[in-house]
Structures are given as structure tokens and as C-alpha cells.
Structure 1
Amino acid sequence: MSDISDVPFDIGYLGIGTAAWAVAGLKIRAWRRDPSRGLLVVALTIAAPATAFVVAAPVVYRLIDRIANLGNLATLLVYLGITGFSACAVVLARMWTPPSERAGSQVWDAATAATWRRVRWPLAVFAVLVPVMIVLFFTGGADNPETPLTFDTTFAKIPGIAIFLVIYQALFGFALIDIGRVCLRHASRLPPGWLRRGIRLIALGGLVACGYVVCKLIAIGAAYARVSGLEWLSTALGPGFATLGSVLITSGFAGPAAAAWTRRRRDYQALRPLWDVVYRADRRLALEAPPSAWTERLAFRDLEWRTARRGLEIRDGQLTLRPWVDPAVVTAAGQVAERAGLEEGDRVALIVAAALRSAVEALNSGIPPRPREDQAPLPGLDTEPAEERAHLVRVACNLYAPLTGEALAVATATG
């Protein structure tokens, strides 16, 4: 029995495993909504090591061995989990699409025949060596004593177990170097932003985790040669590298997702004033009544669907209000935008915001709608789908801006 305290490892491994599984759960949820092999591979790349960390926690490790009535079985499960990460990382590295070949915001390709040709041989190596690892473990006689923290240095003296350990470390090290190399190459081609930061964190995490492999191989070699005094490389320094690497890799996957979630939530809330305007004009446009302020603040789930629905309802409201848009307001808003030196996107947003406010006022005042031939052409209605949300957010931000009020005042004065 090892004299190393289990408590720090329980806290560390369970904490990291739980956090990683939370990220994996989000990726699995995203994959279920938008099935793609890229998302599935990302989810598995996170879930496999997350499971390994949970199983590696001594309290869980001993529980598994007790249930199975086989000492150190949890070690095999941990190493198979990390090997699963290694295989997924190799596939992910080859699925990553270079920025010059992307369609829109696509990050990985559709796993075409060319992709599978690139991963065929690496996966074949994993497919051959994983059963070899399993056979070596069960025939090596490493079931006693139970050693959740010192398995490698305790049983590396057995040739079969030593080979098992070296195969595991070699596959893990190959995957870490491969994913680090690919991520660094892709990050250098990306524009500044959370995606580039996340990919660089994954690369850094992979390279840091290589320290775990180096420490383990030295400790395993020393134990096999019956050289004492280097066990700390396996029990302290190596796990430290692995822990730091896993935190960086998990953060790399979580960072862009968290940034995207934050952006969706910000857009959803930013569109509320514009949605209120069209809802008050025609309540039939909305599927449900406006949520309360607290409901809006506490909206954390289904943000993509909610924001997309809000955008569609706003678009319907724009079309409904178009017969009440005053052409003089459109002209005045264009002049105000030109004097202010606004860029094209902001100019269009200002015109639309002023036009909608004037249309709502005209509708509420009982002014009859204009016939189709007299309706003012409203910019922004032909915005590309990929840019539509950003356009509507700009309109919402301009709805009660000083320049919009100025445009309405100019239209009123000239009218």
C-alpha cells in the first residue's frame, strides 16, 4: 500500500474530470442539435480523458476494483480512456480544415473519403495495439497489490507490464505531438479571436502533457532496471504535467464555446428593444408574450433557437410595418448618417431604426398604409443570412440613439 495521500489526487482528478465532462456534455448536446462528425469527434476527444480522470481518482479506482473483484482493473480503464483520447485527437487533427479551404465558419471538414484515407493507418495502429495492451495487462499478473497511484513503478519490473506501459505512453505521446503540431499550424492562419486562442491552448496543453510521457518513461525504465529513487517522476511530476495539460486542453475546447454562448446571449438580449417595437405593432407576429425582465436575464438555455426566432419575428415585423414607413424619414436618416460619416453597416442600421420608429408612430396615429407603389425601399432586407443577426443587433442599438432622434426631427421639420 502506498504511503502517498489519496486526498489531493481525489480532489484534483475528480475536479478536472467533472469539469471536462461538463464541456463534453455541451459538445454532445451541440452534436445532437447539429449532427456532424467533427462535433462528435470533439465530444469524444473530451469525454474519453474526462472519464479517465474520474476513474483515476483513488476513491473511484478502489470502488471499481472492489466491484470487479480484480485489483488494478481501474488502471486498464484509465489507460484505455487516455488511449481513446489519443485516437480521437489523431482523427481530429486530420479533420481540421485549413482556413483557406473553409466554407463560411466551418472549422472541420465533413470527414470525406480523403479524410479517412489520412487517418486509416494511424487508426489501424491503434486498432492493433489496444488489444495487445489488454492481453498484456491480463496476463501480466499485476492484480496485486492494489496501487492506484504507483502502478507503473510497482509493476514495471514485469516484462509484459513494462511493454504494456510503453505502448500506452508511445500512443499518448504520438497523439499529443500530433495535435500540438496541427493546432499550432492552424492557429497561425486564424484571425484574432477566441477560436485562435482556444486552438493555441489545445496546442500548449498537448505539448505540456508531453512532460507526463517523458517523466513516466524515465520512471518506468528506471523501475524495470531496478533503479530506485526516481519514483517521484511517476507519482508527482508526471501527474502534474498531465493535470496542467488537461486543464489547458479542456480550456481550449471550452473557451470558444463559452465565447459563442456569451455572444448568443448578448445578441438575444440586445434584440429585445427592437422586438418590443414590432411586437407592439402586431402581437400576432410572436409565438408568445414578451418574457419578463427576470426571465430575460436568466435565459441560459436554447439561446441559439431563441435568438433565431426573435430575429425571424423582427423580420416579419419589418415587412408588416413597411407600408407605414415615411420616405422622408428614410431620406433624412440617410443624410444624417452621411454627415456623421457612418460606415455602410451603421448607415443602413440607422436608416432602418428611424424608419421603424416612424412607421410605429404612423400606425399608432391611425395613418393609413401607403400603397405598394408609394412604399419606401428599406435597406437591409436583402442582408445575407450569415450577416443578418449582426445587422439586426445594429438596428436595435440605433433604435433610440441620438442620431436616430436627429433623423426623425429633421424629417418632421422638412415635412
Structure 2
Amino acid sequence: MSDVPDRLYDLVYLGIGAVAWTVAGLKIRAWRRDPSSGLLVVALVISAPATAFLMAAPVLYRLIDRIAHRGNLATLLVYLGITAFSAATVVLARMWTPPKERANAQVWDGATADTWRQARRRLAVFAVLVPVMIVLFFTGGADSPETPLTFDTTFATIPEIAVFLVLYQALFGFALTDISRVCLGHASRLPSGWLRRGIRLIAVGGFVACGYVVCKLIAIGAAFAEVGGVEWLSTALGPGFAALGAVLITAGFAGPAAAAWTRRRQDYQALRPLWDLVYRADRRLALEAPPSAWTERLAFRDLEWRTARRGLEIRDGQLTLRPWVDPAVVTAAGRIAERAGLDDPDRAALTVAAALRFAAGALDTGIPPRPREDQTPLPGLDAEPAEERAHLVRVAHYLYAPLTGEALAVATAAR
């Protein structure tokens, strides 16, 4: 085997492994912040094949063999890594199975007793077969020659190794079809969005990776029967299916998380004008001074905490400015919103934006605050936590919008 194919496989396998481990690292970090069995299983589903891809790269494959002083030991480690993926995948498939397809399950809950009972039965199969695979590998004597890319077709003529390979492919194929089937059903029940697209990508990736299993089984069977000419199924086409499937599955797990991160970052930055307004009204509201424009642009970590804190400080600022809210501004904003045909969420946001802008200006100019009994309540203060952030982002959007300026002008002219 020339060095050119080795370098190509190094590039592909190391690249996929590195990207997948990056995604797994983010899942592990999320699990440490919010421990849950679901996140832990997802992290294992990603990290196990990521490790296998890294070890399958010829450069690391040979390094492992040299350190262990045993040829082709890396093959066992790679296949055990994929088998760990298979085991974690069947657990995840049980957790994602709808309640109506689970016996005695009443609610959507990935950690019900029935879920774990089903998972344990399937994991028992892996617990029995994995030691069998290890024994078959070592008794097969497939330690020479070292074959990082052609192990299957080189040693499939040995009965123990042939059985080892078939068991590995059977477990892998079962896990892929199981998770793909469940993901297709799961996606059909989700609303449109990144989560639905991500789940479908996982399903498609699983079915694509099944092409690897089919190619490998054909090549193994042909090698065992001493039929030549089909080695390319094992060394070229099969790995191609595996690589493409791994990319799709990784993208399926990463896509929704990346979309959520992007949305949090956009919300964090969108709230800045509104936060600046309330901060100028009362600097005691903030834990720290306003970040610079560059700091804001380079904010990539802890976005959920930063955005939540910014929202709380804005809420405190609204309460601070409430004594200076003018009912005439609220009335004018309502009329402008009605004339513009705004829906209820946008109407509430326009009203709050106009009221806060006027209140901040009134505070700056020294207008006396209204007594508590004359203060005007603003819409959105009683919003549910799940809706509050979207409401504040809308308020920030309308803060300096033309409609807000028009409402302020109408209210000022009527005074």
C-alpha cells in the first residue's frame, strides 16, 4: 500500500474525528452544567465513534500497535469504539421512542423505568457479545502483517476473525437501522426548525452508514470464500459510506446546538440598546460596566447566562423607570400600532419601547415621578419565562424604530 492512500485516510479520519470530538466536548460541557441521562448518552454516541475514527487513521493505528507491541491491535480498539457507539445508540433510540410505542409509558420521558428495562435487555446482548468478540480476535492470531486499511479482507479467511467481523457488523447495522427508524418517526412529530432538521440528518446518516455494513459483509464473505476482485468494497466504497454517514450524524447532533447558540448570541446582542437605556437610568442595576463593542462582538462563551442576566437587569430597569411612564405615550403607541396593523406581541413591544424611551428622557430632564397610584402598567411584565426573552428582544427592536419615534411625537404634540 502506498503512502498516498494512507495520507488521504489520515486526513479524512483525523478530520472527522476532530470535528466529532469538538461536538462531543460541547455535549459533555452541557451535561456537566445540566446533568441528565439523555445528554450523557448523546455525548457517548458522538465521542465513541469520534475516538474510533481517530484510531483508524493509519498514522495513529501504527502508533498504537508500536506502543502495544502487537500488530493490528488498533483494529480491535476501533471496532470496540464503534460497538460502544452501537450500544449507546440503541439506548438513545429507546429514549427517543414515543410513549405510545413503549409498554406502560404514560409521558414523554427518556428515563422511565420501562425505558431502562428495554435498554438493559439490549445492552445485555452487547455485554455477552463484546467479550466473545475480544476472545475471537485474540485467538484468531491476526497480528501480522499490520493492515490498517485492509484488515477485514486480509484475515477474513480465518474462521475466528470472520465471526468476529460478522458480529461487529451485525451489532453496528442493528444500531444504525434502529436509531434511523426512531429518528424518522421522532422528526415527523416535531415542528419545523433546526431540531427537526437535525433529527432527520441523524436518520439519513444512519441509513447512509448502513452502506458501510453492506459493503463490508459482502467483502468479508467473498474473502472467506476466497473470491477475489471485491476488496474495493471494503477499502474504498465502505469507508466512503462510513465517512459520509459520520459527517451527517455529527451534523445532525451539532446543527440544533449551533442554531440555539447562534440564537442566544443574537438575542444577547439585540438586547444591548435596551440594556444601555436602563443602565443610563440607574447604573446600580448592572453587575459590571457596559462591555465595549469589541467585547460584545467577541462574546462566545456563557451566552445563556449573559443573556439571562441582561434580561433580568432590563426588567429591573423597567421597574425603575415606571414612575416616569406617561399614559399619553402608552395611548399614542397603541393607536400607532393599531394603524400599522401590528399583531399583539409587536403592539406590546412598541408600547413598551415608546414608554421606556419617554421615561428615560423624563428622568434625565428632572420631571418628578408619578405617585404609585398613578403609575401606568406596561404590557409584557407578566410574560411567561419562555416568552419573556422574545418580548424583550422585540422591545429592543422597536426602541429606535420609526413607529416609536412617531408615537413619541404624537404624545409630545398632544401635551
Task: Using the TM superposition, give the Cα deviation of residue 285 of structure 1 relative to its aligned residue in structure 2, in angstroms.
Answer: 0.4
Question: How much identity, in percent, do the aligned residues show?
Answer: 84
**Counterparts of 2:89 and 2:3, CA distance in 1:** 35
- Calculate the TM-score normalised by the size of structure 1: 0.96
Letter in 1 for 2:62: R
Task: Please give the per-residue CA displacement for 1:137-177, whole angstroms capped at 9, x wherever unaligned.
Answer: 11111111111001101111111111110000000000000
Structure 2 residue identity aligned to 1:301: R
Between the aligned partners of 2:114 and 2:323, the Cα distance in structure 1 is 53
Detail structure 1 runs of 4+ shifted over 6 Å in the superposition.
1-4
In structure 1, the partner of 2:85 is 85
Report the 3-state secondary structure (helix = DSSP H, G, I; strand = E; otherwise coil) of the residue aligned with 1:6: helix
Distance 1:344 1:93 in 2: 41
Map 1:121-136 → 2, pairs under 5 A: 121-136=121-136
- 2:226 aligns to what SS in structure 1? coil
Q: Partner letter of residue 293 of structure 2?
A: A
Where does residue 234 of structure 2 map in the other structure? Answer: 234
What amino acid maps onto 1:12 in structure 2? V
After superposition, residues 58-69 of structure 1 pair within 5 angstroms as 58-69=58-69
Q: Helix, strand or coil: the match of 2:5? A: coil
Runs of at least 5 residues in structure 2 that lack an aligned partner in the other structure: 102-106
Deviation at 1:36, TM superposition (A): 1.0
Residue 114, structure 1, aligned to residue 127, structure 2: no
- What is residue 310 of structure 2 aligned with on the other side? 310
Deviation at 1:118, TM superposition (A): 2.1
Q: Kindly report which structure 2 residues correspond to 1:206-221, keeping only aligned pairs within 5 A, or say none.
A: 206-221=206-221
SS at match of 1:5: helix
Quick check: 1:38–1:109 contact (8 Å CA) kept in 2?
no
Aligned length: 410
The reply on whether 1:51 has 2:54 as its aligned counterpart is no
Q: Is the 8 A contact 1:2 1:147 kept in 2?
A: no
SS in 2 for 1:355: helix
Deviation for aligned residue 1:109: 2.9
- Pairwise mapping of residues 319-398 of structure 1 onto structure 2 (< 5 A)? 319-398=319-398
After superposition, the C-alpha distances for 1:180-225 in whole angstroms (9 at most, x for unaligned) are 1011111112111111111111100000000000000011111111
Separation (CA, whole Å) in 1 of partners of 2:67 and 2:211 = 33
Q: Which residue of 1 aligns with 2:185?
A: 185
User: Equivalences for 1:290-301 in 2 at 5 Å?
Assistant: 290-301=290-301
Deviation (angstroms), 1:353: 0.4
Equivalent residue for 2:94? 94
Residue in structure 2 matched with residue 401 of structure 1 by the alignment: 401
Matches within 5 A, 1:245-256: 245-256=245-256
Displacement of 1:108: 7.3
CA contact (8 A) 2:96 2:110 kept: no
C-alpha displacement of 1:338: 1.3
* SS in structure 1 of the partner of residue 143 of structure 2: coil
Q: Could you tell me which residue of structure 2 aligns to residue 24 of structure 1?
A: 24
Structure 1 Cα separation of the partners of residues 244 and 369 of structure 2:
65
Distance 2:10 2:73 in 1: 18
Q: Is 1:7 matched with 2:7?
A: yes
Q: d(CA) in 2 for partners of 1:9 and 1:245? A: 16
Structure 1, unpaired ranges of 5+:
102-106
What is the one-letter code of the residue matched to 1:170?
A
**Counterpart amino acid of 1:28?**
I
Shift of the alpha carbon at 1:98? 4.1
**What is the CA-CA distance between 1:120 and the residue it aligns to?**
2.0
Cα distance, 1:407–1:22 mapped onto 2, change above 3 Å: same
Structure 1 counterpart of 2:56, one-letter code: A
Q: CA deviation at 1:130?
A: 0.8
Closer/same/farther in 2, CA of residues 9 and 250 from structure 1, 3 Å limit: same
Per-residue CA deviation, residues 240-291 of structure 1 (Å, 9 max, x unaligned), is 1001100111111111111111101100000000000000000010011111
- In the TM superposition, residue 99 of structure 1 has moved relative to its aligned partner by 9.9
Change (3 A) 1:323 1:81: same
Deviation at 1:410, TM superposition (A): 1.2
For the residues of structure 2 that align with 1:386 and 1:53, how far apart are their CA atoms?
40
Separation in structure 2 between the aligned mates of residue 321 and residue 131 of structure 1, nearest angstrom:
69
Conserved 8 A contact 2:152-2:234: yes
1:100–1:414 CA distance, 2 compared to 1 (3 A): farther
CA distance 1:391–1:243, shift in 2 (3 Å)? same
Q: Using the TM superposition, give the Cα deviation of residue 116 of structure 1 relative to its aligned residue in structure 2, in angstroms.
A: 0.4
Deviations 1:300-345 (A, max 9, x none): 1111111111111101111111111111111111111111111010
Give the drift of 1:2.
7.4
Amino acid at match of 1:20: A
Instruction: Tell me, in whole angstroms, the C-alpha distance in 2 between the residues paired with 1:59 and 1:25.
Output: 23
CA 1:100–1:288 in 2, change beyond 3 Å: closer, same or farther?
farther
Q: Distance in 1 between matches of 2:32 and 2:354?
A: 41
- Match for residue 104 of structure 2? none
What is the alpha-carbon distance in structure 2 between the residues aligned to residue 268 and residue 258 of structure 1?
15
What amino acid sits opposite 2:35 in the alignment?
P
What is the TM-score of this pair, normalised by structure 2? 0.96
Match of 2:410 in 1: 410
Partner of 1:277: 277
Deviations 1:97-133 (A, max 9, x none): 64999xxxxx973412121022121111111111111
Over the residues paired in the alignment, what is the CA RMSD in angstroms?
1.6
Quote the Cα distance in structure 1 between the aligned partners of 2:2 and 2:366: 85
What letter is aligned with 2:255?
A: G
C-alpha separation between the residues in 1 aligned to 2:248 and 2:111?
A: 26
**Equivalent residue letter for 2:397:** C
The yes-or-no answer on 1:175 pairing with 2:158 is: no
Deviations 1:350-389 (A, max 9, x none): 0110110111011101112111101001110000000111
Residue 279 of structure 2 aligns with an amino acid whose one-letter code is: Y
